[in-house]
């Protein structure tokens, strides 16, 4: 099967190269293109949804170009600030060393494959009035989404109001609601459709797998902390930017207070503590996506509930968990560019979960867990409508929350290659041809303590309108 996947990805690359001679330049998600009557590549690199330097500044300015078109009162009545996005195609996946039945005698692999579609995103972003903007993303529940991996639940993925340029300065902006944290690189803006950033989702004790939940017979241990940086959070953000002429770059900061009410919902009903996240960057000779370079630091201090509130009884306990215990994430990130065609970016993070997060799960002699990880990605825009991608993700465990587990348990090495080609874009629609393959190895997470390898391949279309 692996040979078939490689052959399929190779076919995608050859086809994209062939199309390059015949298909006109393509651009991006069309909601703002319709509003401002510009092409999508005004804000996006030649492979949406990733933003270019101008697009990042447009976002930082509260989705405003400082023109009369910013105000909804000046828009044509036919304009509606909503876009829809999904992807369709063929996906195949496999994983080995699963424990099935009697784990002492049985270990098998599993594979799936078929045509399908991903979840549907219904997006609305814009301005209510000068310096007041909003964002809403609705993902309806779909019973057959996910290429046979299970139904998707409906939810508001994001819903926020932002006040921009408070007191007349770009250094003071306020956002309230549910939104994506200001991560080193946005997972929602990633051009890899089905490969998450491992660093954003890794959890001590639980094997990282994109194929299946941990099956019976495979090793794992309990951890009350299931917080993931990559998940949208409910909270308030204080955000600001400042252009620094001396270095021809931009200073950015983001300080967040977020709720713990979606942390350990299964074990405690979610928490009621407040958590802190921050990110600061400085760019040089540009923004650092198409031109220039950028460096940054980020950190998270959180508290995860370990017990349900006994006073709640049979009432829905959402957001009432107690006995919160601490965890932290701290790291650095960078973004480098060359020739306006190559973007190399990445991040490195150190994570710590306190011993009580494991002690609360009944682990004898529990200790604090510590791991480090990160990613490096290279994007190459070799012809105008096509971009090639390679990303390496890794996790290295230093201390396990359950000291009986091997130090290397749960280590991750993941390689992802992808190719996107813009087939067509207008001010109303966008269509890209997409091929992607990932190879992920996790250490000692399989039956009998074997290493596991998961492979996922996808070929299809990504479109929005």
pLDDT tens for 86-115 read: 899 999 988 888 876 666 666 777 788 889
Task: State pLDDT tens for residues 176-209.
Answer: 999 999 999 998 888 787 788 999 999 999 998 7
What pLDDT score does 30 carry?
61
Q: Higher pLDDT residue, 320 or 174?
A: 174
Say yes or no to pLDDT of 23 above 50: no
Task: State pLDDT tens for residues 154-168.
Answer: 889 999 999 999 999
pLDDT level of residue 2 (50, 70, 90 thresholds)? very low
Task: State pLDDT tens for residues 255-277.
Answer: 999 999 989 888 888 888 999 99
What pLDDT score does 58 carry?
77
Q: What is the 3-state secondary structure (H, E, C) of the chain?
A: CHHHHHHHHHHHHHHHHHHCCCCCCCCCCCHHHHHHCCCHHHCECCCCCCECHHHHHHHHCCCCCCCHHHCHHHCCCCCCCEEEEEEEEEEEEEEEEEECCCCCCCEEEEEEEEEEECCCEEEEEEEEECCEEEEEEEECCECCCCCCCCCECCEEEEEEEEECCHHHCCCCEEEEEEECCCCCCCCCCCCCCCCCCHHHHCECCECCCCCCCCCCCCCCCCCCCCCCCCCCEEEEEEEEEEEEHHHCEEEEEEEEEEECCCCCHHHHCCECCEEEEEEEEEEECCCCCCCCEEEEEEEEEEEECCECCCCCCCCCCCCCEECCEEEEEEEEEEEEEECCCEEEEEEEEEEEECCHHHHCCCCCCCCCEEEEEEEEEEEEEEECCEEEEEEEEEEEEEECCCCCCCCCCCCEEEEEEEEEEEEEECCCCEEEEEEEEEEEEECCCCHHHCCEEEEEEEEEEEEEC
pTM over 0.85: yes
Say yes or no to pLDDT of 368 above 90: yes
Say yes or no to pLDDT of 317 above 70: no
Say yes or no to pLDDT of 9 above 60: no
Q: Is residue 161 within 8 Å of residue 335, measured between CB atoms?
A: no
What pLDDT score does 88 carry?
93
What pLDDT score does 13 carry?
34
Average pLDDT over residues 23-42: 55
What pLDDT score does 34 carry?
66
Average pLDDT over residues 133-146: 87
Say yes or no to pLDDT of 241 above 80: yes
Say yes or no to pLDDT of 70 above 70: no
Average pLDDT over residues 217-235: 91
Going along the chain from its start, the domains and CATH numbers come out as: 2-464 (2.40.160.10)
With pLDDT > 70 as the criterion, what percentage of the chain qualifies?
82
Average pLDDT over residues 357-386: 94
What pLDDT score does 246 carry?
93
């Amino acid at each position: 099967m692996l040979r078939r996947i490689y052959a399929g990805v190779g076919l995608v690359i050859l086809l994209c190269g062939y199309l390059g001679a015949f298909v006109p330049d393509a651009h991006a998600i069309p909601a703002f293109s319709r509003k401002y009557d510009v092409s999508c590549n005004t804000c996006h690199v030649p492979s949406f949804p990733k933003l270019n330097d101008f697009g990042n500044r447009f976002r930082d300015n509260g989705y405003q170009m400082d023109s009369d078109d910013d105000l909804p009162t000046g828009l044509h009545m036919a304009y509606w600030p909503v876009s829809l996005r999904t992807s369709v195609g063929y996906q195949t996946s496999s994983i080995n060393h699963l424990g099935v039945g009697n784990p002492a005698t049985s270990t098998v692999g599993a594979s799936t494959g078929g045509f399908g579609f991903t979840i549907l995103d219904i997006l609305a972003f814009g301005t209510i009035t000068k310096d007041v903007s909003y964002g809403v993303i609705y993902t309806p529940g779909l019973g057959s989404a996910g290429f046979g991996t299970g139904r998707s639940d409906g939810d508001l993925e994001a819903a926020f109001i932002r006040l921009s340029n408070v007191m007349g300065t770009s250094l003071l902006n306020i956002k309230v609601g549910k939104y994506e944290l200001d991560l080193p690189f946005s997972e929602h803006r990633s051009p890899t459709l089905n490969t998450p950033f491992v660093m954003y989702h890794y959890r001590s004790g639980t094997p990282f797998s994109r194929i299946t939940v941990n099956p019976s017979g495979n090793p794992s241990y309990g951890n009350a902390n299931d917080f993931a940086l990559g998940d949208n959070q409910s909270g308030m953000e204080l955000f600001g930017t400042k252009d620094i002429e001396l270095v021809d770059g931009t200073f950015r900061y983001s300080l967040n207070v977020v709720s713990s009410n979606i942390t350990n919902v299964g074990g405690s009903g979610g928490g009621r503590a407040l958590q802190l996240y921050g990110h600061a960057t400085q760019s040089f000779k540009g923004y650092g996506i198409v031109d220039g370079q950028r460096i940054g630091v980020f950190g998270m201090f959180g508290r995860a509930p370990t017990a349900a509130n006994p006073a709640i009884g049979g009432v829905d306990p959402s957001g009432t968990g107690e006995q919160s215990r601490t965890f932290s994430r701290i790291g650095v990130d960078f973004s480098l560019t060359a020739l306006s065609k190559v973007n190399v970016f990445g991040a490195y993070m150190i994570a710590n979960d306190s011993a009580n997060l494991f002690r609360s799960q009944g682990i004898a002699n529990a200790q604090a867990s510590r791991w480090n990880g990160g990613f490096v990605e290279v994007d190459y825009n070799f012809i105008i409508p096509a971009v090639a991608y390679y990303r390496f993700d890794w996790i290295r465990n230093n201390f396990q929350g359950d000291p009986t587990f091997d130090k290397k348990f749960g280590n991750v090495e993941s390689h992802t290659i992808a190719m996107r080609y813009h087939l067509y874009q207008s001010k109303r629609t966008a269509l890209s041809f997409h091929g992607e393959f990932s190879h992920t190895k996790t250490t000692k997470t399989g039956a009998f303590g074997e290493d596991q390898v998961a492979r996922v391949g996808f070929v299809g279309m990504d479109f929005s309108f």
